[in-house]
């Protein structure tokens, strides 16, 4: 019987036209679940038409496209020297794999994928990272499609990615101090750019850390700052020095309880200080006066510092960075923030986001429509910017929002500086 199989396989594999025909039959079988239908063969060479003609006992030379039916195939097989085989047996013999209907094929692929991921998980070291992979695959959570896509594209690269991210999880679990992302990546993987923005490994690590820290996005954080916050709390600094907040009049203590000499020095000298994310990361406690004043623009900040040297004053400097939120999270434990910003759509968005985040610890300062009308500039607000006002739903901002929609001009707090002092 084995010699008959070799003879049959050799006959059909030596004739290229049958590879084309068998692929068509395989596709049809997967769709309908049995051997049947019609198979269209295009662009056959003269030799391939002769190969078909020899088996089917028919002249195909004058046909541009050749149609072969399952019935024709059954009849030709019964009249051939391979009549002791079925077409299913011949196809599986020549294609070297079983014929499966789509449902069976899908089940087999799922079983293979499940076995592959189980094998990978057994070789990982960090139990939390193992649990994350298990939950993602079982519950089809965030990153499920990402893992499936990586699996389809290159299983070897995915294996390497998961092993290196597992190593990152292990390193973070054992680390007691924050590190720059590039330094961390180089230490864990040998490549300082391995976890750079947009890389598959960065997507994997970010998703794991979000799951690990159970951090949902809160009002006020952009996508980038939200991701920075996740990394920061995990022990990684993505932007340690340029991510800063302008401050005045703060006291701070290190994580070991000792006063922070640098911050205390600026306090004693009555000088403003830019606190970077790196510095904030090493602070255990930071406080100011019970009432802290915060403005959007540096020019107003400077004027307030000059006028009120005994107060605590902060500056968000436009759209708040992660450093602003890290600082506010700490000082709002003991103080109330009084905030003033620009009267434009972006300024109202900042004010609303901060108010929703810090609730009763955050008071909007001088946001009445009378100030908008008094200090209205000649900067015209186009429709694109005005559409942003639709998202302003905070009751305290409705009056100034409606005035802005009506007037279509911005007002900036630099012009209002005397109102604050």
Tell me what the pLDDT averaged over the chain comes to. Answer: 90
Q: Which CATH architecture has domain 243-420?
A: 3-Layer(aba) Sandwich (3.40)
- Return the percent helix, strand and coil in the chain, to nearest 5: 60, 15, 30
Nearest one of 57, 55, 53, 21 to 37, comparing CA atoms: 21
pLDDT value for 217: 60
Task: Give pLDDT tens digits for 380-404.
Answer: 999 999 999 999 999 999 999 999 9
- Helices 345-358 and 322-331: angle between axes, nearest 10 degrees: 40
pLDDT value for 356: 94
Q: How confident is the model at residue 94 (pLDDT cuts 50, 70, 90)?
A: confident
Q: Where are the domains of the chain?
A: 2-99, 105-236, 243-420
pTM summary value: 0.64
| Residues 337 and 294 sit within 8 Å (Cβ to Cβ) | yes
Task: Give pLDDT tens digits for 318-374.
Answer: 889 899 999 999 999 999 999 999 999 999 999 999 999 999 999 999 999 999 999
Cα–Cα distances in Å, from 129 out to 136, 204, 207, 329? 11, 10, 11, 28
């Amino acid at each position: 019987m084995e010699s008959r199989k070799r003879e049959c396989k050799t006959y059909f594999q030596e004739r290229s036209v049958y590879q084309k025909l068998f692929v068509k039959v395989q596709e049809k079988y997967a769709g309908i679940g049995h051997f049947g239908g019609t198979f269209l063969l295009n662009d056959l060479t003269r030799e391939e038409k002769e190969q078909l003609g020899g088996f089917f006992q028919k002249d195909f030379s004058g046909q541009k496209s050749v149609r072969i039916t399952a019935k024709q195939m059954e009849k030709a097989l019964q009249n051939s020297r391979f009549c002791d085989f079925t077409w299913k047996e011949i196809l599986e013999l020549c294609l070297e794999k079983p014929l499966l209907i789509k449902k069976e094929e899908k089940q087999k692929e799922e079983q293979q994928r499940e076995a592959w991921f189980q094998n990978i998980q057994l070789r990982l070291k960090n139990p939390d990272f193992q649990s994350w992979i298990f939950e993602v695959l079982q519950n089809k959570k965030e990153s499920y499609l990402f893992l499936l896509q990586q699996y389809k594209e290159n299983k070897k690269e995915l294996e390497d990615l998961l092993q290196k991210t597992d190593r990152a999880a292990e390193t973070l679990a054992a680390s007691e101090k924050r590190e720059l992302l590039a330094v961390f990546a180089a230490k864990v993987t040998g490549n300082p750019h391995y976890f750079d923005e947009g890389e598959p490994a960065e997507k994997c690590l970010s998703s794991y850390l979000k799951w690990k820290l159970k951090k949902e996005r809160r009002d006020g954080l952009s996508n980038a700052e939200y991701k920075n916050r996740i990394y920061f709390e995990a022990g990684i600094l993505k932007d340690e020095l340029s991510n800063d907040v302008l401050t005045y009049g703060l006291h701070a203590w290190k994580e070991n309880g000792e006063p922070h000499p640098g911050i205390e020095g600026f306090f004693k000298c009555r000088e403003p200080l830019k606190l970077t994310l790196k510095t904030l990361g090493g602070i255990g406690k930071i406080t100011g006066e019970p009432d802290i004043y915060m403005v959007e623009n540096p020019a107003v900040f400077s004027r307030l510092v000059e006028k009120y040297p005994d107060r605590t004053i902060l500056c968000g400097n436009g759209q708040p960075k992660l450093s602003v939120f890290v600082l506010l999270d700490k000082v709002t434990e003991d103080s109330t923030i009084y905030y003033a910003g620009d009267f434009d759509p972006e300024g109202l968005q900042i004010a609303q986001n901060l108010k929703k985040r810090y609730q009763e610890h955050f008071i909007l300062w001088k946001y009445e429509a009378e100030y908008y009308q008094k200090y209205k500039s000649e900067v015209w607000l186009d429709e694109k910017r005005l559409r942003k006002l639709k998202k302003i739903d905070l009751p305290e901002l409705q009056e100034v929002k409606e005035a802005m929609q009506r007037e279509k001009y911005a007002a900036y707090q630099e012009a209002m500086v005397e109102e604050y002092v």
